[in-house]
Amino acid sequence: MFRSTTVQLVLVLVAFTLAACAPAQAGSNVNGPSPTLTAIAATKLPAPNVLRDMQVASVKVQIGVGSPIPVDAFISAELPDACAQLAEVKVTRQDFLFEIALRATPGMREECFRDTLPFRMYVPLNMVNLPEGTYTINVNGAITTFTWPSEPTITPEPIMTVPAEWETYRNEAIRFEVDYPQGWIVDKSGDTDILWSEKPGGPGNDGVPANVVKIDIVTEPNTTLTLEELLARQKQIIADSNGKVLLEEAITLPSGLPTVRMGVSGFGESIALLAVIEGHPLILVGYGDLARFDDVAHTLRAVQQ
């Protein structure tokens, strides 16, 4: 998971009509009408490369189990618009105060500004060799406290085990695997393959009934992007098509692969999991039964050569 003045760009067109400025003609009225001013409504757009502080709704502390003991700040925030990107996460500590600054790069197109975008992330806190006491966390004005040391607030997640009867989809172009339940159908068609729990026979989201899972596996072996660039591109595509990003989460899968999970609405609701493997974009898009989509998507892993 990812410096500040806001500049208003105001375009005003002024046209002056002065009879005195025109060449003198017989019968012309030198005491003509007053100048006419025509103004185009101001359009407020952020200046390029200007970072904006993110609005933070809440921050909670999660203390886990391990050595050293993991301590994370779980932050619920909002990106300023649908095309904005998390640009800076800065953590500083002074005595018993942690300050976390979150800043975003705003979108630059008017269609991006229809709404803000919910965003959730974890920020790890280094508590190694810190003294006992009550610590405060301030994230862009949202504040919480916790006592250190403290009992775990979360239990460790069990290591994900894939049922023995599950099958494995493997992509050799950018070398990754994903597991799926036995009996599912795989439609292969070049750079976009499709996993079906069963072929649908009636209407639903994107033509997929609520009890059926459809997963589009989109690969781009001839494209090189970072995860941040892939995310920015997809958000722009969604904005251009009048869709809406409902939620954005930075997630590290059990395999250790960093991803971004997006909830999207447009022609029905879907979940997209974005990843980059060896520099190549990979997107899993789920329709229908989205809970079962997550079960499958979380098995995504890169394959070593």
Are 190 and 293 in a shared domain?
yes
In a domain, 12, yes or no: no
Among 247, 253, 250, residue whose Cα is nearest residue 269: 247
108: tokens are: 């630059």
pLDDT digits over 11-57, tens only?
222 232 333 333 444 444 444 444 443 333 444 555 556 899 999 99
- CATH code for the domain in which residue 180 is found: 3.40.1000.10
224: tokens are: 């090189």
Cβ atoms within 10 Å, residue 107: 23
Q: What are phi and psi of 55, to 5 degrees?
A: -80, 125
State which residues form the domain around 73: 52-148
Residue pLDDT tens, the chain, 305 long: 333 333 232 222 223 233 333 344 444 444 444 444 333 344 455 555 689 999 999 999 999 888 889 899 999 999 998 888 888 999 999 999 999 999 999 888 887 787 788 888 889 999 999 999 999 999 999 999 999 999 888 765 555 567 888 999 999 999 999 999 999 999 988 789 999 999 876 554 456 888 899 999 999 999 999 999 999 999 888 888 888 888 898 888 889 899 999 999 876 789 999 999 999 999 999 999 998 999 999 999 999 86
Are 175 and 232 in a shared domain?
yes
pLDDT digits over 263-300, tens only?
998 767 899 999 999 999 999 999 999 989 999 999 99
In a domain, 144, yes or no: yes
Domain count, the chain: 2
In a domain, 244, yes or no: yes
Q: Are 261 and 272 in contact (CB under 8 A)?
A: yes
Are 177 and 291 in a shared domain?
yes
**pTM of the predicted model as reported, rounded to 2 decimal places:** 0.62
